[in-house]
Structure 1
């Protein structure tokens, strides 16, 4: 399923449920031990899109379930450090992972000797949000369009630097190189905030970041958006062109989801999944996600499991086509 088909499916499902007037009610009592906090690990730093989505949803889940959810940022290692923390945890529902498609799918294609398999070592609970990345340059850069960046890079092979903090963005840079016939220099970072700082400071030519950070930087006059990674323009930022308008076929939606250690009881998984679904249907949540350029990704445990299988296979195929070897 392409990114476009998936987005259409999400919209149709949400519209159908709302049209029926369905509201999912989650009992206040929880099978989790009362008095104990639920730690939700985010394998990216505070200020990232993944972090924002986690805080929006866990705030509502606390109200719905009467259970305290604490966000724990554990960045580094392409998401491996934070993910392994959850993989090693007891499957009692008190340690969860809310991560992006990089540690949940793309890492299988990019990380050599990956110490976990997201399809085997984690329990899918629910989808969280769907968005895209934004290619950014400094606001006073002479580069004003993607076509101009491509022309600039062709004159400077291997010298135009682009920051990335996840394996999925690493592939986006490799795909830009392949489709445009250029050689961008991919520079790894622990998170988007650091790469944004270096673009603003002039140490980096460009970066790919989430729409929330991108909108804030454009509004502040610090960065300029050249294009979004999804096949079509993001309705939240309709003035920003899709990269595919210059490089046909470029399609990299970004998603994240909630999971737990393998072996979690199904009753507990269903209760957490229902709580997220109820939170996602709240107007306030939709508005706060939209402010970051994202929409709710409403998906239950079985759907998420199947989606992760499909996405992992897609990333492996695209990595091979881009001639990227696990490193």
Structure 2
């Protein structure tokens, strides 16, 4: 299973200690970087966890480097379109992407004809934050709990929305269905925002979607929240049960990470500069507060920590994806 929220918090603590270390990694001098505008690609529309985190990070990075930092949203193909831009860019640290870890952990297993190899073409610079998903349904769906939803899904055809194939919401729902033996038809959209609109309109019954994207609609009574995907309650929805508790399955803890990535081959000094900026930015009290207000857990890991964590999660997800038979062209 993906890294738990408690493990993310522990990694954040290690990152905070690393941020206090003086100088650049391995005593390297500060690199002549950046020398021009930095582009950070995001594989989802505005409003989701990736976009929220990227814009906060970009704002701070621009202040720290003195160079413009531009955020470009390029949704589609499970965040692959945004990552592909970086995979095919110059390896100079001026084109970056903030992706859910699924781009590296599961997309290579799901997408048969990817025009790049995220595991070979991208370097994981830093885990900026961790996040979970909130299971919501249209009020017309006669389910006020996960058990009621599962019973409905076993009794009649139902649908669920996600931000695209193999994205966190898709994986979280499929894991739920696998554990319970229920069935629901997957309806993918280009990002969490349009998926949320589909559930709001009743076009789709339910969905595991980003908490900051759907919480305003839950509070307004336009969506019913059934469970949060992690083992720890959501700060934004403390009264919503966790999925492990709702199903009495303590090991069912589904947490994801947001990873800053560069083109593989980017000079080590530039990677060191980026990871130092990431660690220090993610430890700022104001940034931490703003991320936590959006149900995101700030981290700011080193590149070595990010690489190790992504490798570990890739190994955990591989048998799950193969068992589910998730494939896309």
What is the TM-score normalised by the length of structure 2?
0.90
Task: Name the counterpart of 2:103.
Answer: 103
Task: Name the counterpart of 1:205.
Answer: 205
Determine if the alignment matches structure 1 residue 273 to structure 2 residue 275: yes
Task: Name the counterpart of 2:215.
Answer: 215
Determine if the alignment matches structure 1 residue 289 to structure 2 residue 287: no
Look up the SS of the partner of 1:124 in the other structure. Answer: strand
> In 2, distance between residues paired with 1:325 and 1:88?
24
Retained in 1: the 8 A contact 2:91–2:263?
Answer: yes
> In 2, distance between residues paired with 1:174 and 1:105?
16
Q: Summarize the Cα distance change of 1:238–1:102 in structure 2 as closer, same or farther, 3 Å threshold.
A: same
Determine if the alignment matches structure 1 residue 164 to structure 2 residue 162: yes
> In 2, distance between residues paired with 1:189 and 1:6?
30
Retained in 2: the 8 A contact 1:112–1:326?
Answer: yes
Look up the SS of the partner of 1:41 in the other structure. Answer: strand
Determine if the alignment matches structure 1 residue 321 to structure 2 residue 323: yes
Alignment of 1:120-139 (within 5 A): 120-139=120-139
Instruction: Tell me which moved more, 234-243 or 256-265.
Output: 234-243
CA apart distance, 1:292: 0.8
Determine if the alignment matches structure 1 residue 301 to structure 2 residue 303: yes
Task: Name the counterpart of 1:310.
Answer: 312
CA apart distance, 1:155: 0.9
> In 1, distance between residues paired with 2:314 and 2:202?
35
> In 2, distance between residues paired with 1:236 and 1:197?
20
CA apart distance, 1:277: 1.0
CA apart distance, 1:2: 5.6
Q: Summarize the Cα distance change of 1:24–1:135 in structure 2 as closer, same or farther, 3 Å threshold.
A: farther
Look up the SS of the partner of 1:246 in the other structure. Answer: helix
Alignment of 1:164-203 (within 5 A): 164-166=162-164, 167=166, 168-203=168-203
Task: Name the counterpart of 1:58.
Answer: 58
Structure 1 portions without partners, runs of 5+: none
> In 1, distance between residues paired with 2:58 and 2:327?
36
